[in-house]
């Protein structure tokens, strides 16, 4: 299933996307409805009112914007090398990390499909894009082995880990540079895990103004999805609805000479096969 959070006529709702229509599953707080669905308290098989997908305003598919998004840095070989050599990597001394680099984005930065990303909020004018596959956790998960990791996944969505490179470098820890308001596009919807075959075969492509900048398969991750879940749950408990952004491939703006930073008027599109495309304009 494709599960979308959205607004219709000023009211939130949760629905199932079928072609160019949305089947309304529940009206009201979309985050609460999504959590109830993830936890299995209600089914996504309902046959409610159908509305045109073009008539709704898609929201970030998250149970709460008060929760942090767990992120993984430098998780593709080529990107690890380009970031290490960029002069902005204040976090580590290794070109390619020997252990997963974990950080977070504040949930308050999340926006949905089609929402503006306000590059003007960054006083340093060093805004960059990072297209990523994101995992949505489906149940309470603690000390989960690699072998059982896929059992705790509800589904997958797309994240664009928009970043102020100068703020990321200036503050050493990455939270500030990663969490400016609107710097967390997420969506356009969640595709449930049962609809995804071999997740490693999914291909990610990021386009800026139609130009392909990033292109990689999920199989190219340094630390694969089972390893990430085992690593995280070894010391912390993940909850239903938690989001893990798995890392971005090479081709980000700072990988070019000179850097290709985002500017007002740009258009970002992050596509993942089997999921869809997350599009956001820059203002």
Q: Give the single-character DSSP code of 236.
A: S
**CA 242 vs CA 27, 67, 154, 274: distances in Å:** 22, 8, 10, 21
Answer whether residue 186 shows pLDDT above 70. yes
Q: Give the integer Cα–Cα distance in Å for 208 and 120.
A: 18
Residue 40 backbone class (left: φ over 0; alpha: ψ -120 to 50; beta: rest): left
What's residue 80's pLDDT? 66
Answer whether residue 162 shows pLDDT above 90. yes
What's residue 85's pLDDT? 58
pTM as predicted: 0.94
Which pLDDT band holds residue 237 (cuts at 50, 70, 90)?
Answer: very high
Answer whether residue 83 shows pLDDT above 70. no
CATH superfamily of 69-281: Fumarylacetoacetase-like, C-terminal domain (3.90.850.10)
Average pLDDT over residues 92-113: 89
Bigger pLDDT: 223 or 93?
Answer: 223
Ranges 39-48, 171-180, 240-249: which has the least confidence: 39-48
What's residue 47's pLDDT? 76
Which pLDDT band holds residue 276 (cuts at 50, 70, 90)?
Answer: very high
What's residue 173's pLDDT? 83
Q: Give the single-character DSSP code of 116.
A: P
CATH code 3.90.850.10 region(s) in the chain? 69-281
Answer whether residue 52 shows pLDDT above 80. yes
Answer whether residue 168 shows pLDDT above 70. yes
Ranges 79-83, 205-209, 241-245: which has the least confidence: 79-83
């Amino acid at each position: 299933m494709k599960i979308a959070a959205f607004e219709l006529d000023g009211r939130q709702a949760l629905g199932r996307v079928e072609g160019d229509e949305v089947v309304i599953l529940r009206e009201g707080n979309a985050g609460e409805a999504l959590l109830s669905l993830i936890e299995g308290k209600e089914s996504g098989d309902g046959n409610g009112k159908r509305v045109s997908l073009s008539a709704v305003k898609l929201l970030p598919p998250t149970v709460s914007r008060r929760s942090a998004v767990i992120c993984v840095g430098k998780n593709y070989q080529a990107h690890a090398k380009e970031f290490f050599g960029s002069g902005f990597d204040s976090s580590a001394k290794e070109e390619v990390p020997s252990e997963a680099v974990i950080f977070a984005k504040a949930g308050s930065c999340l926006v949905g499909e089609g929402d503006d990303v306000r590059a003007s909020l960054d006083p340093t004018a060093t805004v960059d894009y990072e297209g990523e596959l994101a995992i949505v956790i489906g149940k309470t998960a603690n000390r989960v082995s690699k072998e059982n990791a896929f059992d705790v996944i509800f589904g997958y969505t797309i994240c664009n880990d928009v970043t102020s490179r100068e703020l990321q470098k200036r503050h050493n820890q990455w939270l500030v540079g990663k969490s400016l308001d609107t710097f967390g596009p997420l969506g356009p919807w969640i595709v449930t895990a049962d609809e995804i075959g071999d997740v490693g075969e999914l291909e990610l492509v990021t386009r800026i103004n139609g130009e392909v900048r990033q292109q990689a398969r999920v199989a190219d991750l340094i630390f694969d999805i089972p390893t990430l879940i085992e690593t995280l749950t070894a010391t912390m408990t993940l909850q239903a609805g938690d989001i893990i952004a798995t890392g971005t491939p090479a081709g980000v703006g700072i990988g070019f000479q000179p850097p290709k930073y985002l500017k007002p008027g740009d258009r970002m599109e992050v596509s993942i096969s089997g999921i869809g495309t997350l599009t956001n304009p820059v203002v």
